Amino acid sequence: MKKTASNEKNWIPSKMGNLDTRQKREICIPDKIEQMKKKRQDHRMWTVLLAGILSCWMPLKGEAQDSLSSQHFFSVRVDDDFLNLAGQGTDRYYTGGDYYRYSFLAAAGKKRLLRKILYSPFTGTPSLYSIGATQWVYTPDNLSASTPVIGDYPYCGVLFLSLGRESLSPDHSGLFRSALWLGTMGPAAAAKEVQTFIHGMIKTNEPRGWGNQLPDYPVVNYSLYYEPNLFSFSRIFKVNGTGSVRAGTLQTDAQIGLDLLISNEKDNFFPARNAGTRNHSRKRPGFYVEVRPAVKFVGYNSILEGGPFDGRQYYHIPAEQITRILFEGTGIMGMQLGGFSIQYRQVIETAEFRTVQKQVYGGFLLQWRI
């Protein structure tokens, strides 16, 4: 029988055992070449992205006044669903996140490109600028399945560079942040490699479904956040309002809430903020506790639904199953001494779509002045 193109395609794998080494190599080489090309494209994308960010970033550093130039910080934050107060990890949904950030305080100055991109209504006060890298890892509840688990989270990795700006109002009673995220979701985010390595190191079950993760898709997201003080009691207990909006290819949503704060630092409405407009060192530890209830309104979530302009010929959560109103509670405990601070947080969030449960995770943040 004469082989058609379709028969020829199906015939090759079935006859691989009858081919010699040279013939097998000739068949596999095209796939390897495509993989190498994709890796080169990913490396080129990150190189161009980093070069563009640095070209906007360096002029701001040069404008820092002498009185502010010593306020440089480095911070590391690690989230994990095992870091909860109950001590019972679930290893599902948002299962881990890593944040690395360098920041510095710069005086108000000329409207450079980055100042125009990162909006602040408080243009006359110093701003804390930051650049960092973030990785998120999402997995379903069932890690042993090698095929998509219908009704559960899709495997998804996210990796992005972040540019941020944080400013206080002139009377220090309001905090404003803006941020730009640039990166990718999908295999290029390397979430599979990170989680597989960690699970191998701690000798636990290896996730088997990463071959079904959401495909590569660019991340371009912009966010605004505002937190004003609403009222205070006895200069130690404060109540702040919180509001934020995010828009882009990764997440589009809005959130409103409260920040109920107790701190031993009088008249400090934002004790978690380590930077100040004057060089100073705390002579005694500063402690604070926060409870932050919030309501989130979800417009689009690529981590569940896939890229907004993608064909979505893969497993994802349909739009009609997404829960559009979520309730979130965050508890925070922190301590600062001099230029060092440590913080623990625990987050509880209601189910993001119909067929899953609420999620609970915790995280540690370490920050020090450099």
Task: Identify the CATH number of the domain in which residue 247 sits.
Answer: 2.40.128.140
Q: What is the DSSP string of 147-197?
A: S--TTSPPPEEEEEEEEEEEEE-TTS-EEEEEEEEEEEESGGG-HHHHHHH
The pLDDT mean for the chain works out to 84
The confidence band for 41, taking pLDDT boundaries of 50, 70 and 90, is low
pLDDT of 2 higher than 50: no
pLDDT at residue 311, as a whole number: 81
Is 267 within the bounds of a domain? yes
Is 4 within the bounds of a domain? no
β-bridge partners, 78: 98, 364
Is 17 within the bounds of a domain? no
Q: Among residues of the chain, what percentage have pLDDT more than 90?
A: 59
Reference 145, options 209, 93, 206, 95; nearest CA is: 209
How many residues are there in the chain?
Answer: 370
Residue whose entry in the numeric block shows the structure tokens 């380590």: 274
Is 8 within the bounds of a domain? no
The confidence band for 181, taking pLDDT boundaries of 50, 70 and 90, is very high
Question: φ and ψ at 142, to 5 degrees?
Answer: -90, 105
Is 86 within the bounds of a domain? yes
Query: How far apart (Å, rounded) are the C-alpha atoms in residues 324 and 280?
Result: 45
pLDDT of 320 higher than 80: yes
pLDDT at residue 93, as a whole number: 94
Is there a contact between 68 and 108 (Cβ–Cβ < 8 Å)? no
CA angle 124-128-130, nearest 5°? 140
The residue segments making up the domain with residue 178 are: 23-369
Is 2 within the bounds of a domain? no
pLDDT at residue 206, as a whole number: 84
Whole-prediction pTM value? 0.82
Lowest mean pLDDT among 53-67, 213-227, 298-312: 53-67
Is there a contact between 203 and 197 (Cβ–Cβ < 8 Å)? no
Query: How far apart (Å, rounded) are the C-alpha atoms in residues 225 and 149?
Result: 35
β-bridge partners, 241: 258
Is there a contact between 328 and 265 (Cβ–Cβ < 8 Å)? no
CA distances from 368 to 79, 130, 245, 289 (A): 18, 14, 29, 20
pLDDT at residue 30, as a whole number: 56
Is 228 within the bounds of a domain? yes
Tally of structural domains, the chain: 1
55-99 pLDDT, tens per residue?
555 555 555 544 455 689 999 999 998 888 877 777 899 999 999
β-bridge partners, 161: 133, 182
Is 3 within the bounds of a domain? no
99-137 pLDDT, tens per residue?
999 999 888 766 577 888 999 999 888 999 999 999 999
Q: How far is CA 327 from the centre of its chain?
A: 19
CA distances from 362 to 88, 200, 338, 346 (A): 11, 22, 25, 4
pLDDT of 144 higher than 60: yes
pLDDT at residue 68, as a whole number: 54
Q: Is 93 exposed, middle or buried, given 0-12, 13-18 or 19+ CB atoms closer than 10 A?
A: buried
